[in-house]
Amino acid sequence: MSRSYDAWIPLPKAELHVHIEGTLEPEQALAFAARNGVELPYADTEELRKAGQFSDLQSFLDLYYELMAGLRTERDFEELADAYLARAAAQGVRHAEIFFDPQAHLARGVDMGTVMEGLWRALGRSESVHGVSTQLIMCFLRDESADSAMRTLDAARPYLDRITGVGLDSAEVGHPPGRFREVYAAAAARGLRRVAHAGEEGPPRTSPRRSTCSAPSGSTTD
Ligand SMILES: [Zn+2]
């Protein structure tokens, strides 16, 4: 029996793979950049949509990091998350496990507090406003160093009660996950669950072994 796409919308769903920075819509990206005085090399949303026709993971990541430049304030992160949750709710999502990439923001001079407070304003009211429960997963960039990941874990210390687990994302090829073993152990010692990305770009062997990466119930890797 075939069903139209619309027939599936009311069914309750769990979103288990979403990068909050990747939910930035062209309109929002340009608006954030404009109000923060950040220049993006796109004249309008049409040009930006064309740039969003990716050929591989790296071309996606290039645009992903470029558009992050417009995310500067708590308000930006709050509006980003709120817009995603509203769209997700409209598609029947009732639970979302949301990745975020603090290293990419810290490197741009946006501190952990700005990211966390902004996201939390939206996530903290999500169940009452959108009917969507949430969990937050802090990803480390696997194309950055393990030291950088550890510093990021340390920077998140004041916010650990808002973070369910840690993850691993970004470019996979040439960046095996084994060097993050100590960071994952430190995350476990701080009561965080551990997941990791695998298979978006590299072969299955780029995924951590089960011994170094345990997934929380209801969560998933790629
Ligand atoms: Zn992903």
pLDDT score of 162: 97
Cα distances (Å, whole numbers) of residue 67 to 34, 54, 93, 109, 122 = 12, 14, 25, 15, 20
| Across 152-175, average pLDDT | 94
Beta strands in 129-217 (DSSP E): 133-141, 165-169, 193-194
Compute the half-sphere exposure of residue 191: CA atoms within 13 Å on the CB side of its CA. 8
Annotated domain spans of the chain: 14-212
76 CA from centroid of ligand 1 (Å): 21
65 CA from centroid of ligand 1 (Å): 14
- Looking at per-residue confidence, does 71 or 208 come out higher? 71
For 174-189, the pLDDT digits (tens) are: 888 899 999 999 999 9
Residue 99: pLDDT over 90: yes
Collapsing DSSP states into helix, strand and coil, what is residue 61? Answer: helix
Query: Which stretches of the chain are DSSP H helices?
Result: 5-8, 26-35, 45-51, 57-68, 74-90, 102-106, 112-124, 126-130, 146-155, 181-189
pLDDT score of 2: 59
Confidence of residue 198 (pLDDT cuts 50, 70, 90): confident
Six-digit token string for 18:
């979403």
pLDDT score of 210: 41
- For the domain covering 14-212, report its CATH number: 3.20.20.140
pLDDT score of 133: 98
Residue 36: pLDDT over 70: yes
Q: Are 153 and 183 in contact (CB under 8 A)?
A: yes
* Active centre residues (catalytic): 200
1 CA from centroid of ligand 1 (Å): 31
72 CA from centroid of ligand 1 (Å): 22
111 CA from centroid of ligand 1 (Å): 23
> Does the predicted model carry a pTM greater than 0.85?
yes
Confidence of residue 204 (pLDDT cuts 50, 70, 90): low
96 CA from centroid of ligand 1 (Å): 14
Compute the distance between CA of residue 168 and CA of residue 26 in angstroms, rounded to an integer: 25
169 CA from centroid of ligand 1 (Å): 6
Compute the distance between CA of residue 215 and CA of residue 59 in angstroms, rounded to an integer: 28
| Across 10-34, average pLDDT | 94
- Looking at per-residue confidence, does 145 or 203 come out higher? 145
162: which DSSP letter? G
Collapsing DSSP states into helix, strand and coil, what is residue 68? Answer: helix
CB contact set of 207 (below 8 Å; sequence gap of 6+)? 177, 196, 197, 198, 199, 213, 221
Q: What's the chain's average pLDDT?
A: 88
198 CA from centroid of ligand 1 (Å): 8
pLDDT score of 205: 58
pLDDT score of 216: 37
pLDDT score of 107: 94
For 122-150, the pLDDT digits (tens) are: 999 999 999 999 999 999 999 999 999 99
191 CA from centroid of ligand 1 (Å): 23
pLDDT score of 209: 47
| Across 104-114, average pLDDT | 96
